[in-house]
Amino acid sequence: MTDSKSKRAPQTRVVHPDIELAPGFASFAAPVMRASTVVFPDLAAVRAADWRDESQWRYGLHATPTSAALAQRIAAIEGGQYALLQPSGLAAISNVYFGIVKAGDDVLIPDNVYSPNRDHGQWLARDFGVTVRYYDPLVGAGIADLIQPNTRLIWIEAPGSVTMEVPDVRAIVSAARERNVVTAIDNTYSAGLAFRPLELGVDISVQALTKYQSGGSDVLMGATITIDRDLHLKLKQARMRLGVGVSADDCSLVLRSLPSMKARFETHDRTALALARWLETRGEIAAVLHPAFEDCPGHDVFMREFTGAGGLFSVVFDARYSPAQIDAFVEALELFAIGWSWGGAHSLAMPYDVAKMRTASQWPHRGTLVRFYAGLEDESDLRADIERAMASALG
């Protein structure tokens, strides 16, 4: 310590500590490096700062070493070059809209889309001079007939995370590419593990890292993953203008969960499939909606493109049960909690009125749909819980 430093007042020495963090320390944890201010070595560095340059640190909102470590891993999972992190999955969706779409443009959204995305599209249509049209997720190559000269963006969701139909992503991408339309897929369902849409030519993959990547039901985060640099920079600039970023603390929580994600995903997948197969044998159930089942619309696409399904599936109860009876069934469950989001250790169940969520396709089922998320509990306990709730509410 120089003499002059030791003469400083205690308060100054609290702000400017005498000792630097010791070099030579190593652990497996990605260090949490928080920042609003990022310190530049000199003014020349400030003046040379370029937001396009991925190797530069400029401001904590845009990137820290901790967020960059997470972004790099998220991009790697599904074969992307770039990932941008947003404070929620919905913020990632919003980042896509504001990065790609302007007044006068047209957007195509599948009828099975995550509901807040549908609402976001309606908001842009109402207040921002964008036209938004909904399409049947099973449209396949027929999407070509819907593309107009001003169509700028086509959303895809494979499968729909409530209704489980699997669109023909290859056919949609090929029609979009031919007409220079950007494609964005909400790939949260597969976590980027079981389906790699960038390899099929989809331009942007969106993840709600809130789900399997966080794995703890306690962090909100989203990501946009791309290969093309110009597209990445468009999204990056919109993200800067929207003023959204992620905290290093939240990133460190996701970084901690990420190595176990594949093992968790496979366990969720096994449990969900076993429950779905058992439910198929029950007289209370009219249909099981799981893309690994042969009668699920888009099953052939699923078998061709996916390596797994994870913990989500839905069932349609027989139409002889009233919606109130199905509500009573869901509330009688003890191990399946009632709540939004998924990807954590705890199983969840939620009834949906699907007919009310659609405008471009006819929903073929009459009974009430319940979506299940199989957590990390023992499968036989989950089965017993469903059986007991059925007996008490539907018996």
Ligand X SMILES: *Cc1c(COP(=O)(O)O)cnc(C)c1O
Q: Which residues of this protein are in contact with ligand X, per CB under 6 A?
A: 88-90, 114, 161, 186, 188, 208, 210-211, 220, 222, 341
For residue 246, the minimal CB distance to ligand X (Å) is 11
- Closest distance of CB 117 from ligand X, Å: 7
> Looking at residue 323, what DSSP letter applies?
H
Q: CB 206 → ligand X: shortest distance, Å?
A: 7
Estimate the crossing angle of helix 89-100 against helix 115-127, to 10 degrees.
30
Smaller CB distance to ligand X: residue 111 or 186?
A: 186
Q: Which is nearer to ligand X, 321 or 342 (CB)?
A: 342
Q: Which two tokens stand for residue 244?
A: 């959204």
> Of 90 and 393, which has the nearer Cβ to ligand X?
90
d(CA 392, CA 395): 6
What gap in Å lies between CA 383 and CA 295, rounded to an integer? 23
Tell me how far CA of residue 52 lies from CA of 19, 55, 56, 232, 234, in angstroms: 35, 9, 9, 10, 10
Closest residue by Cα to residue 107 from 141, 145, 148, 137:
148
CB of 248 to ligand X, least distance (A): 18
> CA angle, corner 157, sides to 131 and 102, nearest 5?
25
For residue 33, the minimal CB distance to ligand X (Å) is 23
Which lies closer to ligand X via its Cβ, residue 62 or residue 211?
211
Nearer to ligand X, 136 or 157 (CB): 157
185 - beta bridge partners?
Answer: 156, 205
DSSP of 339-371, one letter per residue? -S---SSS-EEEEE-GGGG-SSS-----SPEEE
Q: How far is the CB of 8 from ligand X (least distance, A)?
A: 45
Round to whole Å and give the CA distance between 365 and 377.
30
Q: In angstroms, rounded to a whole number, what is the distance separating the alpha carbons of residues 368 and 141?
A: 31
Q: How far is CA 387 from the centre of its chain?
A: 31
Strand order in the sheet with 285-289: 285-289, 312-317, 369-373, 348-352
Please answer whether residues 129 and 104 qualify as being in contact, where contact means their C-beta atoms are separated by less than 8 angstroms: yes
Min CB(168)–ligand X separation in Å: 19
d(CA 386, CA 391): 9
Reported residue count of the chain is 395
C-beta of 57 vs 134, nearer to ligand X: 134
- Nearest approach, Cβ of 327 to ligand X (angstroms)? 22
Residue nearest to ligand X (CB): 89
Least separation, in Å, of the C-beta of 27 and ligand X? Answer: 29
